[in-house]
Structure 1
Amino acid sequence: MELEIRELQKRYGKKQVLRKVSLTAGEGKCTGIIGANGCGKSTLLRVLAGVEKADDGEIFLGGKQIENPSRQMAKYAGYIPQESALMPELTVADNLKLWASFGNYKENGRRLESLCVQFKIKEFCKERVKNLSGGMEKRVNIVCALLHGPMVLLMDEPSAALDLVFKQELKTYIREFVQKGGSILLSSHDEGELALCHSLWAIKEGVAHKVPEGLSIEEISEKYIG
């Protein structure tokens, strides 16, 4: 399902973070977002996930305009934020049950079983989230984002805190997801993740720039990040 953004704007007080950002994440494609720290990558993904509201601009999913992202995007998109979306006082199992309760609980439960095996969650399901390592907590957040069977994934530094084994597991899932026709919009500093992307967009001074193909990481960094 193609995700298209047209002239999206977001400001915090007098600070304009996003200035008419326009880009497309194609169906069956992994699209990467790069840029310096604080450039607006996370803000863009939060707006698309419906966590924050844009000041202006339009969002289209599958060619249809999304009028209410906070409600409509939850039906189609899975969001993996940099910060944890879990309740720290609850156990992992209780957090997963809570997330599975949104939508079709039976279908979500089937996916949950498979995802817990894939990301090896069962071994610490009874632990409270506040007692988990950063990598464990990230794995649970990833499972929560995937268990509804989303058509679009919004991923903000998804492999941060993961060890090498689960970084590879996540990359495998990304490949499989796009092969099945899903769309991914991915913000990352990880070269391995960026290598999975079919196209890259750089956010600089609040504007999205399409990165030409064939540039090296050093050239991209010098032009769009440095």
Structure 2
Amino acid sequence: MSAVEIHYISKRYGTVEAVRDVSLQIEEGELFGLIGPDGAGKTTLFRVLATLLLANEGSATVAGYDVVHDFREIRNRIGYMPGRFSLYQDLTVQENLEFFATVFHTTVEANYDLIRDIYEQLAPFKKRRAGALSGGMKQKLALCCALIHKPEVLLLDEPTTGVDAVSRQEFWQMLRTLKAKGITILVSTPYMDEAAMCERMALLQQGQVLQVGTPEELRSAYRWPLYAVRAEKMYPFLQALRQYPGTHTCFAFGEYAHLSLQTEKADEAAVRAYLTQKGFTKIDLQRIDPTIEDTFMDLLQQPETQPSS
């Protein structure tokens, strides 16, 4: 039995279609990512799975229970961490944890082994009010509260947004530890670099699934010769690259531009000659392997995106 099954879920807010015909299957014990920018439909989908919203069409099950008819059972079996910090800011760290344990008719001690590694980082601040914690500590407290009843499925909606790079790395290490304990984890993020930390993922845009697969599968689906290119005066340089007859796409990636060439016109020497003719100097051009972000950007360029499951 799959931990989460989603069948043609659609959700509208008036005339706005937030999620459209989404179908996904997440296996038990899997670390699965929903990857996409703001407005892609990630939060809406999480709220449907957490039984906080009713979909307009489609069906879904979590831990084998239907999100409409069995919502009480689901709420006892999931841990849900919304994107915005939603704990009681006037309560201390310890008081928040004890409160959520009481809500689920358990105690902190009963499942302490599950949260031990996370809570030990919070222990020095256990008498501090939650509202006075740093972003990374708030994140750890919210995760502890979501785990205190030992859920079967963990739903994490953009848990690393707004925290520093070190805290992001620490958080993903915590998720790997939790996965090793058998918990199914569904996590959303707008950060493409975090996608590689998932076992499988779905790329979302405008409420639709663009592609589903492992990081390796998604990277290997990129079919264009790809180059990292840099020169002085990057803005006119980008414009010139986009006007090159053999260009498929060209996007800025930090200090470089990622240039994909049409397969039949993939000629590195011709690109260099073209740029030199345009007056550019100190040209750095090197063949690279595609990232998940390159795959995502390429999917957006397709004239019609077909939902994939």
2:113 and 2:64 map into 1 onto residues whose CA distance is 33
1:74-104 Cα offsets, whole Å, 9 max, x none, are: 1111111110121122222221111011224
Return 5+ residue gaps in structure 2 as ranges: 220-290, 302-309
Q: How many Å apart are 1:6 and its aligned residue?
A: 0.9
What is the correspondence of 1:64-83 to structure 2 with a 5 Å cutoff?
Answer: 64-68=65-69, 70-83=71-84
Moved more, 210-219 or 125-134: 210-219
- The alpha-carbon distance between structure 1 residues 49 and 69, as it changes in their structure 2 partners (threshold 3 A), is farther
What is the correspondence of 1:142-153 to structure 2 with a 5 Å cutoff?
Answer: 142-153=143-154
Instruction: State the match for 1:23 in structure 2.
Output: 24
What is the correspondence of 1:21-100 to structure 2 with a 5 Å cutoff?
Answer: 21-68=22-69, 70-100=71-101
Partner secondary structure for residue 105 of structure 1: coil
Q: How many Å apart are 1:143 and its aligned residue?
A: 0.9
Partner secondary structure for residue 148 of structure 1: coil
Q: Is the 8 A contact 1:202 1:208 kept in 2?
A: yes
Q: Confirm whether residue 167 of structure 1 aligns to residue 194 of structure 2.
A: no
What is the correspondence of 1:102-181 to structure 2 with a 5 Å cutoff?
Answer: 102-106=103-107, 108-112=108-112, 115=115, 117-119=117-119, 120-181=121-182
- The alpha-carbon distance between structure 1 residues 70 and 91, as it changes in their structure 2 partners (threshold 3 A), is farther
In the superposition, the TM-score normalised over structure 2's length comes to: 0.65
1:69 and 1:220 map into 2 onto residues whose CA distance is 38
Q: How many Å apart are 1:42 and its aligned residue?
A: 1.2
Instruction: State the match for 1:206 in structure 2.
Output: 207
Q: How many Å apart are 1:222 and its aligned residue?
A: 0.7
Q: Is the 8 A contact 1:3 1:62 kept in 2?
A: yes
The amino acid of 1:96's aligned partner reads L
2:180 and 2:139 map into 1 onto residues whose CA distance is 24
Q: CA RMSD in A?
A: 2.5
Moved more, 183-192 or 81-90: 183-192
The amino acid of 2:83's aligned partner reads Q
Q: Confirm whether residue 221 of structure 1 aligns to residue 222 of structure 2.
A: no
Q: How many Å apart are 1:165 and its aligned residue?
A: 4.8
- The alpha-carbon distance between structure 1 residues 131 and 174, as it changes in their structure 2 partners (threshold 3 A), is closer
Q: Is the 8 A contact 1:8 1:55 kept in 2?
A: yes
In the superposition, the TM-score normalised over structure 1's length comes to: 0.86
Larger radius of gyration: 2
Partner secondary structure for residue 109 of structure 1: coil
Q: How many Å apart are 1:167 and its aligned residue?
A: 3.2
- The alpha-carbon distance between structure 1 residues 36 and 224, as it changes in their structure 2 partners (threshold 3 A), is farther
1:101-159 Cα offsets, whole Å, 9 max, x none, are: 122423x4333476255341121121222222222212111111111111111111222
Partner secondary structure for residue 101 of structure 1: helix
Partner secondary structure for residue 197 of structure 2: coil
1:43-63 Cα offsets, whole Å, 9 max, x none, are: 111221122232232112344
- The alpha-carbon distance between structure 1 residues 66 and 82, as it changes in their structure 2 partners (threshold 3 A), is closer
2:111 and 2:101 map into 1 onto residues whose CA distance is 9
Identity of aligned residues (%): 33
- The alpha-carbon distance between structure 1 residues 112 and 48, as it changes in their structure 2 partners (threshold 3 A), is same
Return 5+ residue gaps in structure 1 as ranges: none
Q: Is the 8 A contact 1:115 1:143 kept in 2?
A: yes
Q: Is the 8 A contact 2:63 2:74 kept in 1?
A: no
Moved more, 61-70 or 96-105: 61-70
- The alpha-carbon distance between structure 1 residues 65 and 39, as it changes in their structure 2 partners (threshold 3 A), is same
Partner secondary structure for residue 171 of structure 2: helix
Q: Is the 8 A contact 1:35 1:224 kept in 2?
A: no
1:38 and 1:128 map into 2 onto residues whose CA distance is 32
Count of aligned pairs between the two proteins: 225
Partner secondary structure for residue 186 of structure 2: strand
Partner secondary structure for residue 174 of structure 1: helix
- The alpha-carbon distance between structure 1 residues 116 and 27, as it changes in their structure 2 partners (threshold 3 A), is closer
Larger relative contact order, structure 1 or 2 (CA cutoff 8 Å, min sep 6): 1
- The alpha-carbon distance between structure 1 residues 65 and 93, as it changes in their structure 2 partners (threshold 3 A), is same
2:165 and 2:41 map into 1 onto residues whose CA distance is 27
